[in-house]
Amino acid sequence: MTTEVAESSLPLELNAFAAVEAAYPAEISRITDSLRNGLSVLVEADKELTPYLYRCVRDRLKKEGKNFLYLDGRPISDMPPLPPGISLVGAIIFLLREAVRGAVADRLLVLPHLDLLTTSVGGLTSEAREAIPLLYENPELVFLGFKDPSFPVPRVIENLFPRSESILGTPRDRLGQLVTQREARKLSPGKIFKPYSLYKHVSGVNAVRLRRMLSTLQGEDYPADAKPAFQQLRANTLVGQLQVPDVDLKQDIGGYAKVKERLQKEILDVLNLKDGMADESQVKRVEGLIPRGMIFWGPPGTGKTLFAKAMATSLGAAVSIVSGPELKSKWVGESEENLRRVFVQARQAAPAIIIFDELDSFAVRRGMHIGSGVEHSMVNQLLTEMDGFRKDELVFVVGTTNFVESLDPALLRPGRFEFHLHIPFPGPADRRAILEIYDQKMTLGFSPRALDYTVKRTGDLVEGTNTRYTGDHLQALCRALARMRLRENRSDATTVDDVEKTLNEFVERPALTAKEEGVVATHEAGHAVAALFCPHSPPIDRISIRGDLAGSLGFVAYSDPAHRYVVTQGQLLDQICTLFGGREAEVLCFNDLSIGSSSDLDRATAIARALVEEFGMGGEAVGVRRLERRDPEDLEPSEALKGLAEAEVRRILEEQRARAGRILRDNRTLVESLRDMLVEKKVLDREALGSFLPAGLNKNPAPTEG
């Protein structure tokens, strides 16, 4: 098929039977040839196609003297009358029994409703058990059976048919023969019609349904913009819960420049390039390069599903969002059928994107401990469906997961889920862009200072949790700000105080006594002052004693280090010293210790042990070697060497503890002043610290945002 067709070469009129003949000539010929040679054929096609396909086959073979019996449950003139009150399935079996045991010479039996002989999960109904012996009773019979793509056929029935034919959607190379001249005028600005432009919107629609849609097409002839006409068609292709989303990749998703760039270049630009090609061989070559399966992975709430919707919007694709747990069923075979139905609906509404939310809920690595065992069957069904895609079929599968490492490797090989897109926690620039979008949408009126503060503030962990801020958290924050402004009838700018109030107003915190608060403030002041005098420590962004962090009464938050990927011995030793700062401040100010430094000791000991056993940074007694065993075959260090290593770990810890103590004793006034200010303010940000600290402290250059 050429990518351009002259309007004058298109038919003036086209009925449904002629459309089926024009759309599926090769398939109908194969069915006819098989039946002519005495081979039964099973045809997989939409229900509405069945009578038209049957008639096309019948008309060809009738000329050769073949007779057909169409067993759809209605009375047949040369057979006994149906018993009164009989069900449809009962009537089909009654007629089947009469046909099988009657004269069969040159007679083909047509079974248009094979799916009625199965349960919804591919098992056998009681009627089917009665019909199966009849189907196999006479080996000279030739059957033409039809099945709906949504329903599996039990193997015992499938084995009756040595030939099968699958007819799904409309072949692209036949589309130019299925549009009349009147309809082409609604879809093209001139007298040259481009079938490829139409195929993009109706690839999953069968020829009968396509003719019905085209015949009702409204609009002006030769429109300058054919988009409204295509939208009419697109709306009629959506089935079930499918819908075309409206999410703009650039306007509705803030930040994530690298993620957007990769998605645009590797997927969207290639597909758009294909749409503009005039050579069919080039189109087929490009289609072979486009991955059909994609994994969008990253922490919860970072917008994986939103990116998939934006991709669908760019392609004009319908979206089906499927939750993995919702697919599972306790009934044997029903989970697999749920999957099959999802794919059938998506293929009928192509172009389409199936989004499997929480793909790891069933597609986990085989051998891992999982629930009922149905997951393995679901993975196999998913692979079967994906392997069955035609190259020109515009159906994509996006699996979202928080744990990409847990997915079954069979899913990740090329040809399946080969395109992996990492969507991480938003960085400072991403958070700023996200906040600016919500600022505009919700008319929050962020002041420049409030926006800067919110970007930095949301670089911490979410209050009361151990997770970082995501796009979902930022949206929730902005919605809360919008509700507050609505309650207070505000139209002025959103301030820093507004942001802080929204973040903290309803967070449950421990009710500390004045003495307890003083201990926590002293501890955090010790960490901060120790860090200020350690040359390799990053600048302090925030100090809090409000219990913002889950499991912690206070914390000191630092800027990201200027060098994120190269970690030196000096940095690690400074970390240990800073960790001891809280403990040593308590000793200095109270001559006593709380148990609040237990996690500090854990982290300090782990760093010191890594220096000695893993990084070869111990003293001369241990030497430059790795003691940590990473493989069972590694030699076990001798007891003497283990003792030397423990002594070296102890030395490092004691040296850094003493160092922290000296720093705090030399700067006791600063420790106490910072403690008192924390007790009063509860939270100190970088700006407040800058006005409080002596000149030159906490002025290390911060890393570039990004």
Candidates 259, 351, 249; CA nearest to 306 is 249
CA geometry: angle 270, 274, 276, nearest 5 deg: 120
Give the length of the chain: 706
Query: Tell me, what DSSP letter sits at residue 479?
Result: H
Alpha carbons 269 and 274: distance in angstroms, whole number: 9
Residue 628 falls in the annotated catalytic set:
no
Phi (first) and psi of residue 85, to 5 degrees: 75, 10
Are 594 and 677 in contact, with CB atoms under 8 Å apart?
A: no
Cis amide bond preceding 351, omega within 30: yes
| Annotated active-site residue in 183, 358, 385, 524 | 524
Candidates 87, 109, 412, 431; CA nearest to 255 is 431
Alpha carbons 224 and 384: distance in angstroms, whole number: 43
Q: What is the DSSP string of 232-286?
A: HHHHHH--TT-B-----TTTTS-S-HHHHHHHIIIIIHHHHHHHT---HHHHHHH
Burial of 26 (0-12, 13-18, 19+ CB in 10 A): exposed
Query: What is the torsional sign of CA 684, 685, 690, 691?
Result: negative
Q: In what order do the strands lie in the sheet with 683-685?
A: 555-558, 540-544, 683-685
Maximum alpha-carbon separation in the chain:
112
Are 322 and 359 in contact, with CB atoms under 8 Å apart?
A: no
- Burial pattern 460-493, b for ≥16 Cβ within 10 A else e, equals bbbbbeeebbbbebbbebbebbbebbeeeeeeee
Are 359 and 408 in contact, with CB atoms under 8 Å apart?
A: no
Are 209 and 350 in contact, with CB atoms under 8 Å apart?
A: no
Are 363 and 406 in contact, with CB atoms under 8 Å apart?
A: no
Q: Give the C-alpha distances (Å, rounded to integers) separating 585 from 31, 135, 309, 607, 655.
A: 87, 89, 53, 21, 16
Token reading at 399: 């699996």
Are 292 and 389 in contact, with CB atoms under 8 Å apart?
A: yes
Number of alpha carbons in the 13 Å side-chain half-sphere of residue 558 = 22
Token reading at 53: 């396909």
Residues catalogued as catalytic: 524
